Chain A
Amino acid sequence: MIGTLISPKWFYGKDILIDFISFFVLILVGVFTFKYYKIRKGRNYLFLSLSFLSIAVSFLIKIILNIFSYYIEDSVMAGILSSSLTGHSTGNITTIFAFGLFAHRLLLLNGFYLLYIIYQKCSTINFDLKLRFVLMIYLLTLVTIFTHNIPQVFYLTSMLILVLVTALYWRQCCQKNKKARKNILFYSFSVITLSQALFIFANLNPYAYVSGEIIQLIGYVLLLITFINVLFEHGKKKNKN
C-alpha cells in the first residue's frame, strides 16, 4: 500500500469519512471567512480564510490518495503488471501519487503556518514579514520534500507549528477573556495538535493512526461548534433587538 499513513484494514473507509467531515468543516469556515474578508478587507480574515482553505484542499488530496490506495490500487497494480509485460511505462502513477502526497503535506503545513502568522499579530504586511513568509515557505517545502519517506518529521513539524498557534491563541485571547466560547477554539487547536503528535507514531503502531484520526475529528467538530456558536450568538442578539 502507498497510502498517506498506514491504517489497519478494519479502519479503511472510516478514516476517509473522518477526513471528509474535517474537509467539510474547513471549507465551511474558510468560505464564510472569505465572505467576511470581502466586507471587512482585513489581512487577518484573508489569512484565516486561506489557512482553512489550504488545510481543506490538503484533506481533499489525502482523501483521494486514500481512496486510490484502499480501493483502486489493486486493480491499477494489476494493470501495471500486465502493461509491464507488454513493455509500457508504469512510472506515471507513482509520480502522480508522490506529487499528491507532496501537495497534501505542503498545503497542510502552509495552512498551519498561516494560522501562526495570524496569532503572532503582525500589524502590517511589511518587508520583514514578506521575507519571513518566503523563508518559511522555502523551509516547509524542504521539510516536505526531504521527509517523503519519514512522515514522523513532517508530523513533528506540523505539531510544533500548532503548539505555537495554540500557545499564542491562549495568550492573546483566552487569558484576557475567559468566555467559554473562546475556549472552545483553544480546545480545538489543542486537540488538533494532539492528533498531529499521535500521527508521529502512526507508522510504528497503527492504533496511533486510528486514535489520531478520531482525535482530529473531535478537533474539527470543536471548530464547527465555535463557528455555529458565532452564528447562534449573533442570532440571539438580533432577536433581542
Chain B
Amino acid sequence: MVRKRTRIDIIGDMLKSIMDKGGCIKPTHLMYKSNLSHQQMKGYLEELVEKKFIRIRRASNEAIIITDKGRSFVNKLGEIKEFEKAFGL
C-alpha cells in the first residue's frame, strides 16, 4: 500500500516541482505537478509565502518563484530522506 503523503512531503513536492522548472512555475502547472486540488494548493501556497519559501509574482503572467530559503529547505528535506533510508526510519 502506498503511504499517505504528510504535510512536509507535500510541501517538499511543491518546492521540488518549482525547482525542476528552473525556480519559476505557473500556478496551474504546480497544481498538476504536486497532485493537489485548487483549494488545497491555495492553503499550502499561503503557508509557503508566510514561511518565505516562495514569492508570488502578480502580473498578467502570474508565477510562483522559489526563494533561497525555499531552496535550502528542499536540500534539507533531501538530506532527511537519505538519513531516513540509511537509518531505516
Interfacial residues, chain A to chain B (CB-CB below 8 A): 32-33, 36, 39-42, 44-45, 48, 118-119, 169, 172-173, 177, 181-182, 185, 226-227, 229-231, 233-234, 237-238, 241
Pair B78/A237 contact, Cβ less than 8 Å: yes
Pair B88/A233 contact, Cβ less than 8 Å: no
Number of A-B pairs whose CB atoms are under 8 Å? 53
Q: Choose one: A39, A42, A173, A231; the contact of B77 (CB below 8 Å).
A: A39
Pair A231/B79 contact, Cβ less than 8 Å: yes
Quick one: given A39-B8, A41-B8, are A230 and B79 in contact (CB under 8 Å)? Answer: yes
Pair B86/A230 contact, Cβ less than 8 Å: yes
Pair B86/A42 contact, Cβ less than 8 Å: no
**Count of residues in B whose CB is under 8 Å from the partner chain:** 17
Q: Flag whether B75 is at the interface (Cβ < 8 A).
A: yes
Measured CB to CB, the closest approach of chain A to B78, in angstroms, equals 5
Pair A39/B88 contact, Cβ less than 8 Å: no
Pair A230/B88 contact, Cβ less than 8 Å: no
Interfacial residues, chain B to chain A (CB-CB below 8 A): 6, 8, 19, 75-83, 85-89
Pair A230/B89 contact, Cβ less than 8 Å: no
If A39-B77, A39-B80, A234-B81 are given as contacts, then 10 extra A-B residue pairs at C-beta distance below 8 Å, sorted by A number, are: A39-B8, A40-B6, A118-B89, A177-B85, A230-B79, A230-B86, A237-B78, A237-B82, A238-B78, A241-B19
Which secondary structure dominates chain A's binding surface? helix
Pair B76/A185 contact, Cβ less than 8 Å: no
Q: Choose one: A41, A226, A234, A237; the contact of B87 (CB below 8 Å).
A: A226
Q: Choose one: A45, A177, A238; the contact of B89 (CB below 8 Å).
A: A45
Quick one: given A40-B8, A41-B8, are A182 and B85 in contact (CB under 8 Å)? Answer: yes
Pair B89/A42 contact, Cβ less than 8 Å: yes
Nearest opposing residue in chain B for A168, CB measure: B88
Pair B83/A230 contact, Cβ less than 8 Å: yes
Q: Please, how many angstroms separate the alpha-carbon atoms of A118 and B87 in the complex? A: 10
Q: Please, how many angstroms separate the alpha-carbon atoms of A182 and B89 in the complex? A: 11
Q: Please, how many angstroms separate the alpha-carbon atoms of A226 and B83 in the complex? A: 9
Q: Please, how many angstroms separate the alpha-carbon atoms of A173 and B80 in the complex? A: 17
Q: Please, how many angstroms separate the alpha-carbon atoms of A39 and B80 in the complex? A: 9
Quick one: given A41-B8, A230-B82, A230-B83, are A238 and B75 in contact (CB under 8 Å)? Answer: yes
Q: Please, how many angstroms separate the alpha-carbon atoms of A173 and B87 in the complex? A: 8
Nearest 7 interchain pairs by C-beta? A173-B88, A234-B79, A44-B89, A234-B82, A230-B82, A230-B83, A36-B80
